[in-house]
């Protein structure tokens, strides 16, 4: 485990020790996906505007990304902007776009230094030209990196993803390339925008809401859920470690019995 930083803070020996222990104690999830919620309430509780909460949320993004890379997580997917978020007041939507562009400008160099590859899922074409350009540049500049895949879900929703996959399959049927009876789990998975990404092992949701909010609906069939009352701007690596510890205690049975798993059948 290299001691690198996205932040300007050097990793403490204590933090390094916790990460080493976590890796010894059980499996580190290969893919963690996060519903980053509570920015607005965090800002309101401080008498501030919602955008203040989103800005503070960027610090959590940085800390969690860094901790995931250090731990050897392969994919970190962040629900940064849902399809439904387009319905928010225009000043908030514009503010979020500007924040995204600013964050990409200030963080891309660090992503490269730390071998982190940026990916996106969602309808990027709905974003303003300038935003698309920044995203494409950051994706291209980090495309050779191998340590962690940081996937931003932008203008993404699970139902949109399933619909676009079904449309592609319907066209293939119409063109006689596949038979309707060929459609199965693998075929649908292969047409989703996450086709090259393994399903999430662990889904974290902040701010205490017990819902999925149209996130990776197909992909989370067997994901483990971790829900915390903490608002996203307060969610830092120590709570990520809590979530991973909770994950490590789970028995993932995928519909089988505990006995079958123990006998490896």
Which 118-137 positions form the footprint of ligand FPP (CB under 6 A)? none
Which one of 32, 152, 220, 240 is in contact with ligand FPP (CB under 6 A)? 152
Query: What beta strand segments (E) does 27-69 contain?
Result: 31-35
Q: Specify whether 161 is catalytic.
A: no
CA 213 vs CA 35, 62, 97, 262: distances in Å: 8, 23, 20, 34
| CB nearer to ligand FPP: pick between 56 and 220 | 56
| CB nearer to ligand FPP: pick between 29 and 233 | 233
Which residue among the candidates 15, 48, 85, 115 is catalytic per the annotation? Answer: 85
Which 172-231 positions form the footprint of ligand FPP (CB under 6 A)? 207
Which one of 11, 28, 34, 38 is in contact with ligand FPP (CB under 6 A)? 38
The distance from CA 26 to its chain's CA centroid, rounded to whole angstroms, is: 21
| CB nearer to ligand FPP: pick between 97 and 188 | 97
Which one of 41, 168, 236, 245 is in contact with ligand FPP (CB under 6 A)? 41
Three-state DSSP class for residue 178:
coil
Q: Does position 99 bind ligand FPP by CB under 6 A? A: yes
Structure tokens at 29: 């999830």
Closest CA to 111 of 140, 91, 133: 140
Cross-strand pairs, 78: 34, 152
Three-state DSSP class for residue 99:
helix
Return the range that interacts with ligand FPP (CB under 6 A); candidates 98-106, 112-120, 133-141, 218-226.
Answer: 98-106
Cross-strand pairs, 79: 153
The CA distance from 147 to 170, in Å, is 37
Q: Specify whether 37 is catalytic.
A: yes
Q: Does position 57 bind ligand FPP by CB under 6 A? A: yes
Cross-strand pairs, 34: 78, 204
Three-state DSSP class for residue 135:
helix
CB of 55 to ligand FPP, least distance (A): 7
Q: Does position 245 bind ligand FPP by CB under 6 A? A: no
Structure tokens at 231: 């608002």
Q: Does position 54 bind ligand FPP by CB under 6 A? A: yes
Residues near ligand FPP, by CB under 6 A: 36-41, 50, 54, 57-58, 61, 78, 80, 85, 99-100, 103, 152, 207, 232
């Amino acid at each position: 485990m290299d001691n690198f930083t996205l932040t300007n803070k050097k990793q403490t020996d204590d933090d390094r020790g916790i990460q080493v222990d976590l890796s010894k104690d059980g499996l580190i999830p290969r893919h963690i996906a996060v519903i980053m919620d509570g920015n607005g309430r965090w800002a309101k509780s401080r008498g501030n505007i919602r955008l203040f909460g989103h800005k503070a949320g960027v610090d959590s993004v940085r800390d969690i990304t860094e901790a995931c890379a250090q731990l050897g997580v392969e994919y970190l997917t962040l629900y940064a902007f849902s399809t439904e978020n387009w319905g928010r007041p225009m000043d908030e939507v514009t503010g979020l776009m500007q924040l995204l562009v600013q964050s990409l400008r200030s963080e891309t160099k660090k992503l490269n230094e730390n071998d982190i590859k940026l990916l996106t899922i969602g309808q990027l074409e709905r974003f303003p030209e300038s935003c698309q350009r920044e995203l494409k540049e950051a994706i291209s500049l980090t495309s050779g990196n191998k340590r962690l895949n940081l996937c931003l879900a932008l203008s993404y929703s699970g139902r949109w993803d399933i619909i676009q996959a079904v449309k592609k399959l319907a066209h293939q049927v119409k063109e006689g390339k596949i038979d309707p009876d060929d459609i199965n789990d693998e075929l649908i998975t292969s047409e989703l925008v996450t086709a090259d990404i393994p399903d999430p092992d662990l889904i974290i949701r902040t701010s205490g809401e017990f819902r999925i909010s149209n996130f990776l609906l197909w992909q989370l069939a067997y994901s483990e859920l971790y829900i915390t009352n903490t608002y996203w701007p307060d969610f830092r690596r120590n709570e990520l470690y809590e979530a991973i510890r909770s994950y490590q205690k789970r028995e993932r049975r995928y519909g089988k019995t505990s006995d079958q798993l123990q006998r490896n059948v």
